[in-house]
Structure 1
Amino acid sequence: MKLSKLLATAVLMSLAACAVKDDKASRVALRGGDTTPKGEVSADLTVGGQPGQIMVTGAIVKIDENKTNYDEPSDKMSLNPAIKVTVVGGLSADGKVVELDPDFKPMLNLTKSETILTEVTSDTSYAVLGCSDDQVDASYTNGLTKKQVEATADQLGSVISAKVVFVCGDLKTTAAALVIKADTLVLNSANIISTAQAGMVDIGANKLALNGENSIQTIGQDAVTNVLPAASIEFNVTKEAPGDATGTLVISSKGGDIKAGAAKSTIGTSDQQKAKDQQEEQELSGKMALDTTR
């Protein structure tokens, strides 16, 4: 599939998701990859937003032979130790964390989508996003020409493709779709952040290199009512996963909250702050839980 068609598809999916309003009244938070609901059920129609669905596929996913009790084949899969996934729902008007809809449960898959990476395999350029000259490893760029690229924060969509793509520091976007395709993707203390409403972050590479602590996160927008899901994340590495002596990557999504103005009719300011504190504590505990499974 051509990258231009891929972007068009991603944008159409984002617009379709924006047209769907969430009218379910009871939700619970999912944390740390544990599929057991742990939050309180919300009985208010003005519920918090869903996190974006996270799909991780390819060489960074493996079968965990130590898992013997599972309901679905995907439950027996685990991630490369350098990579973690965490999701958390938004706060509802009653101050309770929204329940995770089964459609938004993070998914792992061994299938490697190599077709859309065919073009970048034969590309003769490299792209740099937010990196200084000393952060660009010359061993990756020999024989390649630097490509001028830019991920504009507020445009409809951005497609960045090259033989090698380097990402450093903060890359923030509200675009409906952010697409990054590379034969080799190098993340160097990178923080890729999307605050798009029901958008998509689609990142694919044949090989992945991690330096330092990295993150890919989507954050839902707060609203008075009918909070839309955060942008979804698709992360695919087809051939080569990070080695043992590499950095780390956290892939996360957080649903938007019902704005405080709408919540005043059901809970007081102190209760709202307490709920916020609980949400942050739950999100942190989820990340810690993932750490303990390494």
Structure 2
Amino acid sequence: MLEAKSLRKATVPSALLPYPSPGSVQPTRLALTVDDDDPSLSSCAYFASGSHVYKAQISGAEPLVHKGKESLLIPAHAEVIGASVTAHCPHRSEIQSIALTEMGSNGSLILGSVDSYGHLIVSEFDAENKDVQKLTFAVSPQDCVIGEGSWAGLSFSPSQWSVGQYGNGSSILVVTEGCQLTIWDLRVKENGGCLKRICGSPGDVLYAASLSPNGNIAVGGAGRTVTIYDPRRSFVESGANAQRSFHSEATQIGLVSVSVQTETFSVDGV
């Protein structure tokens, strides 16, 4: 069972960001770096608004976690030590998702962002000075700036940051559209790489999907349910048992696998 060791709340200075952009229904525009050796030290939050990526240094955590009624956690106020615009190349449209990872060999920070038209920009920052940009490359879709902009997601592979698809370095890709879950394998030639399509109840829109390191696939939607699918067994592992686990979420908009525990997924919503 995962337990919170600290819970902090910080406010971005209005001088840096007076009018934040609204984003889409499913934005993932926040990433965090924490010192693994001493989590009580300050952490650095990266967040996107409009076409830029910002950085905020947040003061250290308190040793105690405060709880209110029904054991709800009460965040402690944290001070923003410093905030600025990163050297990450700005986009031409609104950023929808960002991803952050550290390279184990040299400690460089890799920051990726994707906008509403699918433009991807990845930057590498120096290990000693995170404000110094070492490398930047960009990838644009073939039909860029055609049609209406929408949501786009981004995630680095946990075993190899240069692999765009998520799934412990494998070639598995999952896509949710409406009430349907589609599983793709980029190595398979039959059916264009499509392994399986799973349809849920009509009207139950799936908003989020995530893969765990052991291969399990979790999907969630507005029905306040989380369904875990094991593609190796070809049947739904669980779903009904998780239906009441997130009763406070009116609309589920985020679902992330916890790498420490392969059977644990974190959920966020409004």
Q: TM-score range by the shorter chain?
A: under 0.3
Scaled by the length of structure 2, the TM-score of the pair is 0.23
Higher RCO (CA < 8 A, seq sep 6+): 1
Scaled by the length of structure 1, the TM-score of the pair is 0.22
Instruction: Select the structure that is richer in strand.
Output: 2
Instruction: Select the structure that is richer in helix.
Output: 1
